Structure 1
Amino acid sequence: EEMPVQLSKHGCDTHMFAPNEDQMHVVNHLTGEEMPNEKRNVLVESARIARGKVKPATELNPADYDALILPGGFGAAKNLCNFATTLGAGKGTPEDMVVQPSIAKIVTDFNTQKKVIGACCIAPVILAKVLPGVNVTMGCSSGDDFPFAGATGAVEALGGTHEETQAPCKDVCIDHDKLVVTSAAYMYDGKPHEVFESVCAMVDAVVDLAKQN
C-alpha cells in the first residue's frame, strides 16, 4: 500500500502489471501451511490486492513510462522469480535462479532505455540477476533486526554489489549508472511506520531521479 500512496502524493500517473499465471503455491497465512489442493492466479490475486485495474505484464511497454517499481515480499521471491526455492532456500547455484520471463524482459527493456527502476524488500535480487553488476541494498548482512540477512549474499553471488543500510533503513541505495533505487523495507524487522518510511524513501528517490533523467 505504501507505494501507490506515496506515488499518489507525488501526482504520478501509475499503472500496475502482473504475470498472468498460477502462483507457485497457495499458503494459509493464518497457519503458514501450504494448501496443496488450491490454485490461484498471480494476475487475479494482484487485482484483488490492488483493487482491480491490473494488466498482464506482457502488455507493459516501457516507452509509455518514466520509471518501473518492483514490490517485494514472498510474492516476488516465489512468483516473479524462483529465489525462494533456489538461493533463498540455500539450494542450487546462481544459474539456477530464474526470473519470470516477462519480468526479466521488462527490467531489461527499462534498463536499455535508460529509465529509472526502483525495488524494495527482496525484489532487488531480481535486479541483481537481470542487471549484472548492479548496486542494491536489502538492509544489513547481519544482525537480529535483519531476519533475512542471509539473502544479501545472493546479491553478491549473482554478480551484484550489496550496500549496507542500517536500521531503521530510511536510507536508499542509488546506482546512478544503472538508474536503480532500492531500499530494505521488510528485510528489516522494524515497526510498521519504519517499513513504511523505507518504502516511501525509495519511491521519493525514484521520482526525483526520473525527473532528472
Structure 2
Amino acid sequence: MAKRVAVLLSGCGVYDGTEIHEASAVLVHLSRAGAKAQMFAPNQDQMHVIDHSEGKPSGSGRNVLQESARIARGDITDLAKLDVSAFDAVVIPGGFGVAKNFSDWAVKNKDFTINSEVEKILKDFHNAGKPIAMCCIAPVLAAKFLPGCELTVGQDKESDMWPYAQTAGALKEMGCKHVNKDVEQAHVDVKHKLITTPAFMCNAPIHKISDGIGVMIRETLKLA
C-alpha cells in the first residue's frame, strides 16, 4: 500500500507562511515515490502579512488555512482534524510561517514556544514511532519538543552561501546536536525518526534545494 504522509502548511509565501518552492518539492518527491500526501493547516490568523514585493508588513490580516489552500489547490484540511493513526509520517516545509504561525521563534528565538495544536500533532507522531521530516527553519520545532535530538539547518559558520548559520548556534544552546550538512544532503536522527535538510537556509540553486528535499523524503519513507 502507498505510504500516507501528512504535510503541514503554515500559510503561503516565504516571509509570512510556507516557502512555496519547498512545499512543491516535498509534494513532487512524495508523488514520485508513490506516497499519498494530504495537506493540513491550522485555522488561525497569521502573525502578520508581508507584501512580498516590498518585504514589508502590509497591514492586512489573513488566515493560515485559507492561505495554505493556495498551495494545496484547495485540497486542504483543518489541522484540528488530523488523525495521526491514518498517516505513516509527517512533513513540515520551511518558510517564516513556521517561525511566526507555528511558533513565536521569529520574536523570541531560542526562548520560543510552539503553537499548542502543532506541538500536540508532532508529539503524537513521535509517540506513535512515526517519522517526522522538517526542512529549512522547521527543525527549530524539533529542538523544542525533542530535547537532545540530532538535526541540521545546514552549516554553523556564516557565509554568503549560509547567511542564517547563527540558527545552528541557537539550536546547540537548546541542547541539540547540530550536524553540518550540505544543501543536497539530509540528516537522519534514527533514534527519534527525525529527518532534516537545510533547503533555503542555503543560498543555493533551486534544483539543489529540491535535491536535498528529495533525500529527506526518501529517508523519511524508509522509516515509515
Q: TM-score, normalised by structure 2?
A: 0.87
Q: Please list every run of 5 or more consecutive structure 2 residues that lacks an aligned counterpart in the other structure.
A: 1-23
Separation in 2, partners of 1:158, 1:56: 31
| Residues 46-104 of structure 1: CA deviation (Å, up to 9, x unaligned) | 001221111111111111111010111111111111111111xxxxxx4x301111110
Amino acid at match of 1:149: A
Q: Could you list the structure 1 runs, at least 4 aligned residues long, displaced by more than 3 angstroms after superposition.
A: none
Choose from 183, 187, 191 the match for 1:177: 191
Choose from 131, 142, 151 the match for 1:127: 142
* Residue in structure 2 matched with residue 34 of structure 1 by the alignment: 57
Where do 1:85-104 residues align within 5 Å? 85-87=107-109, 94=110, 96-104=111-119
Instruction: Give the fraction of aligned pairs with identical amino acids, expressed as a percent.
Output: 38
Amino acid at match of 1:99: I
Q: Does 1:152 align with 2:168?
A: yes
| Residues 128-180 of structure 1: CA deviation (Å, up to 9, x unaligned) | 111111100000011321111111122122221111013xx212110000001
Amino acid at match of 1:32: G
Bigger drift between 151-160 and 191-200 goes to: 151-160
Q: TM-score, normalised by structure 1?
A: 0.91
- Coordinate RMSD, CA, aligned: 1.0
Q: Does 1:112 align with 2:134?
A: no
Give the CA deviation at 1:193.
0.7
Residue aligned with 1:165, SS: coil
Give the CA deviation at 1:40.
0.3
Separation in 1, partners of 2:174, 2:73: 35
Residue aligned with 1:178, SS: coil
Where do 1:1-213 residues align within 5 Å? 1-36=24-59, 38-87=60-109, 94=110, 96-142=111-157, 143-166=159-182, 169-210=183-224
Residue correspondences, number: 200
